[in-house]
Structure 1
Amino acid sequence: MALATCMGAALVSCSDAGSGGAGPAAGRSSASPTADARLARLAQQAADTGSLGVIARVDSGDGKPVEIAQQAAWTEADYRIAADDRFRVGSNTKTLTATLVLQQVAEKKISLDDTVEKWLPGLVEGAEDATVRMLLNHTSGLGDFLLTPEFLPSLTGQEKRTWTPQELLAITPGQDPPAEPGETYSYSNANYEALGLILEKATGTSLAELIEKRITEPLGMEDSFLATSADWDAETAEEAGDETTGTQHVSGYEPNAERLRAILSGTVDLPEGVGFTGPERSEDTVDTSAVDPSWSWAAGGMVSTAQDWQRFLTALISGELLPEGQMKQMRTTVDAPEEGGGYGLGLMRVDTSCGTVWGHTGGLPGYSSEIYTDASGRHSVAVLTSTNFGIKDEKAATANKALVEAATCQMLGKPHPSQSPAG
């Protein structure tokens, strides 16, 4: 159970020799060529220190985004990373799911005060009296199925099993320590599995269809879709009805069992041999691209690109997707220090060294991401990293954090942290 707890915590939030890949793209932000070059150096440093593959995209709102793709040299044998590659954005999906729910609230098909029991009778034990609002802001009283021994083998790829949302809710425990609905913030993927089911019941439409009709198609997000398997072949995507452009999908990596045990040694002692499954790669790493993410569904199942997701997030925050009343509700937060600030309805408020940003983080085996916009929705930043546990190592975490901070500050029009007078 300790292993599951440690892995679960890392996967629900990621805010914590040789040069490969491409440098900055031809577009430049209003920051300066010097700042752009420094951002590229930080991206390469992060890749070489443990992030392995990095995509950083900064849109300062002047029509000339900075796009950077860097990778550790040994990963080039698998693929050459590009700034427009498709990527598993994990829990950033929660912002999209919340947007769909709030659209239904605006249309009076769902109320934020509706109980779970009203929509899903007998399905969510222990949270019958929790409301839709509580599911959205993680105060429902539910724990997370990620932390259960039943699910852990699927999380690591040791067991190939297709989970339904109903099955995942059936193994979801209560919060530990126990909490009444509405009492305590506790991040849980189960909340969003329930919300996905509520959406489908309220609309009579599948979640994948809702996403396409309400979000990706209107916004022209051609490389974004809800994953139903770990097969990223473009032909397979076309057969599934996904309107993608055929761009490649980023390979994801994790430390092998021995190195994972060393990285987590200060937190938990892993049993011998426990770790992620996948083909062995260089530097005691395994390729986790074949680990099936479909279980994450409404909680984390979206595949997208940096540009596509920034397009969604800026459209949302600038008011294109929700009426003012629902947008206000979405940005009403509960305290969530572990997320760097507060948590609203599927939306994180993160207080950075250069100012407050809005967005979400994401983590799946082999993938972590941070995607934010400013309060106006005119500027945005995405940092996508092709490992999750690989950046839990202290040096790797430091390099990744420096990149995210610099990219966020550049998005906000502020100097990179080390360039400020106090830096």
Structure 2
Amino acid sequence: MRDQYRIYKGCEFACKFRRAITAAFIVLFVLTIYICSEASGHNDLNQILRDSIRDLKIPGAVMMVETPQGQVWAFRAGVRRIGSRKPMGNNLKFRIGSITKTFVASVILMLVNEGKISLDTEVSEILPDIVTAGNPLTIRHLLQMRSCLGNFTIDKDFLQLFRERPWTHWSPEHLLQFGHKDHCREGREFEYNNSNYVLLGLVIEKVTGENFESQVYQRILRPLNLKSTTFPVKSANIAEPFARGHDYNPQTGKIKDLSLKINPSWAWCSGNGVSTAADMMIWIKAYLNGFGISSGLHSQQMDFRPVTYDGISYGLGIMSKYTAVGHNGNFAGIYTSLAFKFRGYYFVILTNGQAEGGGRKATAESVFWRVVERSKIFN
């Protein structure tokens, strides 16, 4: 009986072993087919991304693409920090710059959807200490970038102070004191202006009685489970792991890592967001499909009006560039970003500044256009 038991257990083990080997072979076979199809179908995207950051003089980039069929492709190229051999990683955090504006616009539109304000509410009714009575400036004007506000990010006095003391903590009210504009009528003239979204942030806080970060967390980050997205105000620190942001000075020819040296309060909710490619993919899909608002209000959001340049238009916290719809971002030149939908594909591209001085072309958007124009997939 004991010998028969040993024979039985030996046969049982052999059968299990054969089944395990067969299963492993099947998995390996399927995986091999998958890898081959990935390489043959998307290898050009990998190469275009690598070529782009080299030609545009960008240290590194991550790119995530979702196809109309729901497949997600992730790519990376370059390094996370100049002077290090550590490659760029798909899980790294970046400052997303003006993609932050989509979160601001979303909260504002939710408040409109709830009847707490309307698109045509005059801002002076909410913030009389900042916008004087009689000024026809409305919520819609701010969202559309047609406010006639002074633009602090191009004001000479602000820029001088910012360059001399980038670690300074700015209040939103102080930012809005810079810049001045004459001979402008609200609603008529478009200007891409960060002051619009700083003022919208103050509207959110006044109407809700809570700070902007709290509202974004409750309404967007928690429901969508965006665990790697934050909106720091006072601290220049970024939680690990993150890509370093680089600045190239053409006068000295030197490259500086300014990742932790610029206080994000200079942009506040016009550009202080931090996120990952994965979080941004979830968000841009939700945002472009009317997350948290009615279909009627979403239609108004997507009512694009032409701006100064042909082929470009702006809605309510959203832009259209040659049929690519979404938003781009730039945080003091040391990080650039893009979250677009183009020909049925969703794109997220994040980059970490300049390596040798790519100038105005050293951006995530420049990478995007090279990818979609050169890849066979989108032609």
TM-based fold match above 0.5:
yes
Match of residue 46 from structure 2: 40
1:380 aligned to which of 330, 337, 346? 346
Residue by residue over 1:277-332, the C-alpha shift from the partner in whole angstroms, topping out at 9 and shown as x without a partner, is xxxxxx73111212122221221111111111121111122233221111111111
- Picking from 265, 268, 283, the partner of 1:312 is 283
Counterpart Cα distance in 1 of 2:114 and 2:287: 17
Matched, 1:284 2:277: no
Which residue of structure 1 aligns with residue 215 of structure 2? 210
**Cα distance, 1:173 vs structure 2:** 1.6
Aligned to 1:335: 306
Runs of 4+ in 1 over 4 A off after TM superposition: 28-32, 337-340, 406-410
- Judging changes above 3 Å, is the alpha-carbon distance between structure 1 residues 408 and 93 closer, same or farther for their aligned structure 2 residues? farther
SS of structure 1 residue aligned to 2:199: helix
Note the residue ranges of structure 2 that are not aligned, 5 or more in a row: 1-31
1:223 corresponding residue in structure 2 = 228
What secondary structure is seen at the aligned counterpart in 2 of 1:156?
helix
Residue 368 (structure 2) aligns with: 404
In structure 1, distance between residues paired with 2:36 and 2:72: 9
2:165 corresponds in structure 1 to 158
Query: Counterparts in 2 of 1:10-409, with a 5 A limit?
Result: 33-49=39-55, 50-71=57-78, 75=82, 77=84, 79-124=86-131, 128-156=135-163, 158-174=165-181, 178-234=183-239, 247-258=240-251, 284-289=254-259, 290-338=261-309, 340-351=311-322, 356-365=323-332, 366-374=334-342, 379-387=345-353, 390-392=357-359, 403-405=367-369, 407-408=371-372
How big is each residue's C-alpha offset from its partner over 1:113-157, in whole Å with a ceiling of 9 and x where there is no partner? Answer: 111211111314699321110000011111310112332145436
Secondary structure of the structure 2 residue equivalent to 1:226: coil
Closer, same or farther: CA 384–73 of 1 in aligned 2, 3 Å: closer
For the residue of structure 2 that corresponds to 1:310, the secondary structure is: helix
1:31 to partner: Cα distance: 9.0
Q: Residues 217, 393 of structure 1: CA spacing in aligned structure 2 closer, same or farther, 3 A cutoff?
A: closer
In terms of Rg, which structure is larger?
2
Contact 1:314 1:379 in 2 (8 A): no
Q: Aligned partner of 2:216: which letter?
A: I
Cα deviation 1:371-393 (Å, max 9, x = unaligned): 11258xx7410111111694426
- Give the match's secondary structure for 1:371: strand
Distance 1:86 1:152, change over 3 A: same
CA RMSD of aligned residues (A): 3.1
Distance in 2 (alpha carbons) for counterparts of 1:339 and 1:388: 28
Q: Which residue of 2 aligns with 1:274?
A: none
Letter in 2 for 1:298: C
Deviation track 1:355-401 (CA, whole Å, cap 9, x = no partner) reads: x22110101120111111258xx74101111116944266x57xx66
Listed one character per residue, the Cα deviations across residues 235-284 of structure 1 (whole Å, up to 9, x for unaligned) are: xxxxxxxxxxxx4111111112516xxxxxxxxxxxxxxxxxxxxxxx73
Contact 2:144–2:317 (CA<8 Å) still a contact in 1?
Answer: yes
55-64 vs 148-157, greater mean Cα deviation: 148-157
Identity of aligned residues (%): 26
TM-score relative to the length of structure 1: 0.73
SS at match of 1:45: helix
Task: Sort the Cα spacing of 1:160 and 1:62 in 2 relative to 1 into closer, same or farther, 3 A.
Answer: same
CA–CA distance in structure 2, aligned partners of residues 384 and 124 of structure 1: 36
- Between the aligned partners of 1:158 and 1:184, the Cα distance in structure 2 is 33
Take 1:103 and 1:68, find their aligned partners in 2: how far apart are those partners?
Answer: 34
TM-score in terms of structure 2 length? 0.81
Unaligned regions of 5+ residues in structure 1, if any? 1-25, 235-246, 260-282
CA apart distance, 1:80? 3.5
- Residue 90 of structure 2 aligns with an amino acid whose one-letter code is A
Which amino acid is 2:278 matched to?
A: Q
Conservation of the 8 A alpha-carbon contact between 1:56 and 1:384: yes
In the alignment, the residues of structure 2 paired with residue 114 and residue 98 of structure 1 have an alpha-carbon distance, to the nearest angstrom, of 15
